[in-house]
Amino acid sequence: MTLVLCVVLIALAFEYINGFHDTANAIATSIATKALTPTQAILLSALWNLIGALMGTAVAKTIGSGLVDTNLISPTTVACALASGIIWNLFTWYIGLPSSSSHALIGGLCGAALASASGDWQAIIWLKGTSVTPLSFFKASGVLPKVIAPMFIAPLAGLLIAYGLAGFLYALLRMLILLPIVFAAAFSFGLTFILHGITRWPPADHLLVKLGLAALIAALLFWRQVRLHKTGGLTTGHVNAEFRWYQLASASWMSYAHGLNDAQKTMGIIALLLFTATTKSDAFKDLPGWLEFLRTPQFEVATWIKVVCAVTIAAGTAAGGWRIIKTLGKNMVKLQPVHGFAAQTTAAGVIEFASALGVPLSTTHVISGSIMGVGATKRLNAVKWTVAERMIWAWVLTIPICGGLAFIFTWIAHTMGL
């Protein structure tokens, strides 16, 4: 039992590191465009990370039961997987390089399972489903649909959608009267997803309430623009000021989406650990009554796991990851508020969609691709591609390096009889 509790603490340490390591994903653009001060951005992100982490368990179930053979999982293998992820996260944080905490954890889990199976690659679930079609591919279980394919598709989707959205916003700036309507529609879309996550209402429910709020926001923004026109027209400074306000909404949505997807990965690991400890070992044989809540006879993510992981990732987010914030927000491309809004909105939408499918997406990949996309709308050489190249190499190497570390750690542990 002591070993299980120690591994739970290691999992929470990973969650905390994940919080400050991936803070940049949600707030780097807000700080770079001066929409928010660093302190304001971190507090806002921590709040919405907390709310997002409490919603949904689809990603947690994928991590806990859809990637490796659960018969090979033990407290030792989980500890080795987490240790490899923690080492890689701290290393990439130290050199200020955005990398995927999600892929670090997944790579570690696969490497530990492979070592437990004595090198048998059947330990990894590559694709599970008897009648997988192109349309149902991402709903299937396995590393291919849930990890490998999204690893390439997600940043590319972020880049292309953000490029298109930023271009669309530039076009709207020539027809400013439409801007409040478009922003209100985007707000209504985001509100629909958030209410669906919190209340489980079908997206079509309470449509009049959401349309009413959107119309109110559009009216207020339109009134503001009319006043600006009367005082001399909209200047570049006015546009930047407007989009700094819009970034409050896009940063909140991005942080919510980050909590919804990233926090669930550790939830899945903890649930898997407790499930295997309950059903496949005697770890909880003499469990005290006050710890009875740890017993998990069926794989499920208990409420207490959600709350603890949500608070932990929020605390980690509040700690901030300044080195990576500098790389994403300043070193890769110089951003204006319109770029920050487009990048955050795109990334939040892609991550929200992936979370609904139970795909443990890399938020780092998506927001980085989105920032490249909006930067390219200025001109291609506005993006510092040498910085982007370093990041891409980190993305490619994360899974094999963490998998290799976890494999070595697990082999050593088994050699020592642990």
The per-residue pLDDT for range 387-407, each reduced to its tens digit, is 677 777 877 889 999 999 999
| C-beta atoms surrounding 171 within 10 Å | 10
Considering only CA atoms, give the Rg of the chain. 22
Distance, in Å, from the CA atom of 209 to the CA atom of 300, rounded to the nearest integer, reads 34
| Rounded (10°) angle between helices 23-32 and 337-356 | 160
Q: Over the stretch 335-390, which tens digit does the pLDDT of each residue have?
A: 778 888 888 888 888 888 887 777 777 777 888 888 888 888 877 776 767 767 77
CA distances from 414 to 102, 116, 270 (A): 25, 8, 21
CA distances from 73 to 50, 84, 188, 410 (A): 29, 16, 43, 11
Strand pairing partners for 141?
A: 128
Quote the mean pLDDT of the chain.
Answer: 77
Over the range 371-401, which residues count as b (16 or more CB within 10 Å of their CB) and which as e?
bbbbbbbbeeebbbeebbebbbebbebbbeb
Q: 18: closest CA among 309, 257, 366, 393?
A: 309
φ and ψ at residue 297, rounded to 5 degrees:
-70, -20
Query: What is the domain partition of the chain in residue ranges?
Result: 2-415
Q: 88: closest CA among 35, 180, 14?
A: 14
Q: Over the stretch 60-108, which tens digit does the pLDDT of each residue have?
A: 777 776 788 878 888 888 899 999 999 998 888 887 777 788 888 889 9
Q: Are 42 and 26 in contact (CB under 8 A)?
A: no
Cα dihedral sign, 387-392-398-404: negative
Q: How confident is the model at residue 275 (pLDDT cuts 50, 70, 90)?
A: confident
Q: 179: closest CA among 237, 142, 226?
A: 226
Give me the pLDDT at residue 396, please. Answer: 83
pTM, full prediction:
0.77
Of the two residues 295 and 6, the one the predictor is more confident about is 6
Residue 263 has pLDDT above 80, yes or no: no
φ and ψ at residue 281, rounded to 5 degrees:
-155, 175
Widest Cα–Cα separation across the chain: 78
φ and ψ at residue 384, rounded to 5 degrees:
-80, 95
Of 293-307, 375-389, 402-416, which gets the smallest average pLDDT?
Answer: 375-389
Torsion angle, alpha carbons of 276, 280, 281, 284, to 10: 60
What integer is the mean pLDDT of 4-31? 81
Of the two residues 304 and 130, the one the predictor is more confident about is 304
Return the half-sphere exposure (C-beta side, CA atoms, 13 A cut-off) of residue 335.
Answer: 35
Of the two residues 76 and 195, the one the predictor is more confident about is 76
